Amino acid sequence: MILKTARVSLELLHTFRIARSADDVRESLLVSLRDGGLAGLGEAAPIARYGQSADSAARAIETIMEPLQGTTGDLDRDRISEIIAPLSESLGGEKAVLAAVDIALWDLMGKQTGLPVHEIIGLDPSKTPHTSYTISIDSPRMIRKKVKEAENFSILKVKMGLENDYEIMEQIRGLTDRPVRVDANEGWTKEEALDKIHWLEEQNVEFIEQPLPADRIDETRWLSERVSLPLFADESIETIDDIPRLKGAFSGINIKLMKCGGITEALRLIESAREHGMMTMLGCMIESSIGITAAAQISPLADYADLDGNILIGNDPATGVTVKEGRLILPEGPGLGVELRDDSIGRQLRVP
């Protein structure tokens, strides 16, 4: 297989501000894996929280180009797992790069078989969940604008974790009564979380995501025993080995392909979470339609979806999954079903 890459700057429609950062642009690496006349597409959206960047991802990709050149032939799920296992070892913490290769392999397998990814797995495309639309931390004027832009979505995801949490929620409740999911991005202390969650219990909130810093599992367990809203782990869950220790502290986990390493590992995480009696949500970073569509292809397996990263950018280089009245609509076509919009990116990836 021949691996090609293209670096893209994804321009956000609005500043994306959470408890620990604010961004106007995020960089992704798009990849293609060509075998014969077919090419699978993937995406690496590096996560700064875990020490990744577009530069580190580009360096990591260089280290796996040669090993992949010796890989050829028809793909199935077992063969993809065989290819991914040694790459996971060599890439270490560069999970977004691993995800890009894994996604491209699944796309290529779909093109080889003529089947969409969801059909290969045996999923019903009519069973995709509704996705939330993210309202990041912002001024009152911008929050009004974002809520207006989210009219097509039945669920909002509201970022919190700073001193204006009450004001943000009060403003949103003055604009809409739609269900809300709150994400504190590790921004609260346990006492602060207890007070705020008790207040949020009366605000039509579905659940709270990552209220405390990732390593505060015992404190999160203490919090979980004192609130009625489910708590979901995001930063606290990185690998499948984390799941057993999270039981009792969290009711569910947020699975991101960029965080776990792709579709192959996400399927394992969903299965393990089910075995431990935990709910699952498929989440995302700021990604193009390539990464978002990859997650959407397996979304019928999840209890919840937060797959709006492509909707928050103004220069999406690809087309793929869409949203109708808040529900994810999978594209037709084999593999991911995505197509590139930009001919210059296609030339870099050598994809027609």
pLDDT band at 66 (very low <50, low <70, confident <90, very high): confident
R_g (Cα) of the chain, nearest Å: 20
Q: Long-range contacts made by residues 259-262, C-beta under 8 angstroms, separation at least 24?
A: 259/47, 259/50, 259/95, 260/95, 260/99, 261/84, 261/88, 261/95, 261/98, 261/99, 261/102, 262/42, 262/84, 262/98, 262/99, 262/100, 262/101, 262/102, 262/103, 262/106, 262/294
Can you tell me the mean pLDDT for 215-237? 97
Residue 352 pLDDT grade (very low, low, confident, very high; cuts 50, 70, 90): low
Rounded to an integer, the average pLDDT of 97-118 is: 98
Note the pLDDT of residue 162: 87
Q: Mean per-residue pLDDT for 269-281?
A: 98
**Do 318 and 289 contact (CB within 8 A), yes or no?**
yes
pLDDT at residue 77 greater than cutoff 80: yes
- Class of 2-114+342-349 per CATH? alpha beta
- CA within 13 Å, CB half, 179: 13
Question: Which of 308, 273, 11 has the alpha carbon at shortest distance from 152?
Answer: 308
pTM of this structure: 0.95
Query: What would the pLDDT profile of 8-44 be if each residue is shown by its tens digit?
Result: 999 999 888 887 788 899 999 999 999 988 999 999 9
What pLDDT is attached to residue 254? 98
| Boundaries of every domain in the chain | 2-114+342-349, 120-340
Q: In whole angstroms, what is the distance from residue 346 CA to residue 58 CA?
A: 18
Of 20, 66, 12, nearest to 47 by C-alpha is 20
What pLDDT sits at residue 36?
87
Distance CA 294, CA 310 (A): 12
Kindly tell me if the per-residue pLDDT of 212 is higher than 90: yes
pLDDT at 52 over 90: yes
Fold of 120-340: TIM Barrel (3.20.20)
